[in-house]
Amino acid sequence: MRVAIIGAGIAGLATAYFLAKEGIKVEVFEQKFLLHGASGRNSGGITAQFDDEELIKLAIRNEKLYDKLQSEIGFNFLLRKDGYLKLANSIEELGRIELQRKFGLKVKIMEAEEVRNIFEDINTEAFKFASFYPKGAIVFPWAVIWGLAKGCKDLGVKIYDFTKVEIVAEDGKVKGVKSGEFHEADVVVNAAGAWSKEINDKLGIKEEKRIIREEICVTESIKPYIDPYILHASEGLFLSQSMRGEIVGGIVGKSDGGMTSSLDFLIRYAKLVTRLVPKLKGLAVLRQWAGIYDETLDGKPKMCFSEIKGLYQLNGFGRKGMSIGLACAEIASKEILKFTQEE
């Protein structure tokens, strides 16, 4: 059996890895370079603080897979488990805390002043409530992709970068993919993220999605002192500090697509982040960038075979890719294995 995976992000590469472990011959096709898409352009926040049972379960499994794969592949993902701090101006914006606790998440609700116990330099006038998830984490996305790529190659997976492919289907069944040459496949996985809709459109598969741009920037390094990943849900602001001391932050994306960064973003971000953490005033911004991702209307990832036999959809993660991508890939690989065994 042969499997072709379109998209070398966290979900695509992890699926390739899991399948290759079972002896399946896998090829991965990336239209640009590794890290070009959302998996290489996000801020690395990991949490299970979701408002849906399925997403919470995926996130809990995902946490375990990070530890397992780092050890198994022999590659450091630079994962730092310092918690995930969610801020808001109303208690409702913190989400369904009782649902999260139902599934074992030890989420703590705090008023603004209590947050100083976690991060003393925060401006408590910039928000009213907070929830803290101690098992939340920050990961370096590049290390995750590099590690998964290494694991795949060690198992014989071929990864083709700068290779944009089209799916070849006949009589309602996939035959493979083609670029300059044809690659035969019994199963094709559409893990192309923001480009997955374009692929489906060409096959006549209609779907409703949002293509969202998210802008991020990084500052000069200062002495590390911000431990948790911080998300201000009311403002859409997020920030964390890297192990090298840089402040990495941005604003939750808008539905306008495109990968061009803007001055407007930088001005707005600077105002929001220095109000929340006044001591960051005066830091030099070294680099800014934008990434795009696709999001389903219900906020859940697509993990299923489509109406075209042998075509598996693995996309629509929104900004939850680093929090659930590994778990989704594990499920996808099991469903694909079952399909190949039945053929």
> What's the whole-model pTM score?
0.96
Summarised one tens digit per residue, pLDDT across range 199-254 is 999 999 998 899 999 999 999 999 999 999 999 999 999 999 999 999 999 999 87
DSSP string over 321-343: HHHHHHHHHHHHHHHHHHHHHH-
Distance CA 215, CA 203 (A): 31
- Provide the 3-class DSSP secondary structure of residue 186: coil
Cα Rg of the chain (Å, integer): 20
CB of 265 within 8 A of CB of 251? yes
List, in order of start, the domains of the chain with CATH numbers: 2-76+140-208+298-342 (3.50.50.60), 84-136+210-296 (3.30.9.10)
- Nearby residues of 187 by Cβ (< 8 Å), 6 or more positions away: 1, 2, 3, 4, 174, 310, 311, 312, 336, 339, 340
Q: Tell me if 167 sits within 8 A of 188, measured CB to CB.
A: yes
Interval 68-84: pLDDT, tens: 999 999 999 999 999 99
Residue 152 tokens, joined? 């795949």
Identity of the amino acid at 267: I
Which residue in this structure is represented by tokens 């070294």?
Answer: 286
pLDDT tens digits, 166-187:
999 999 999 999 998 999 999 9
Q: Could you tell me what percentage of the chain is helix, strand and coil, using 3-state DSSP and rounding each to the nearest 5?
A: 35, 30, 35
Query: d(Cα 153, Cα 48) in Å, to the nearest integer?
Result: 30
Q: Are 144 and 77 in contact (CB under 8 A)?
A: yes
Q: What are phi and psi of 85, to 5 degrees?
A: -105, 115
Is the pLDDT score of 260 beyond 90? Answer: no
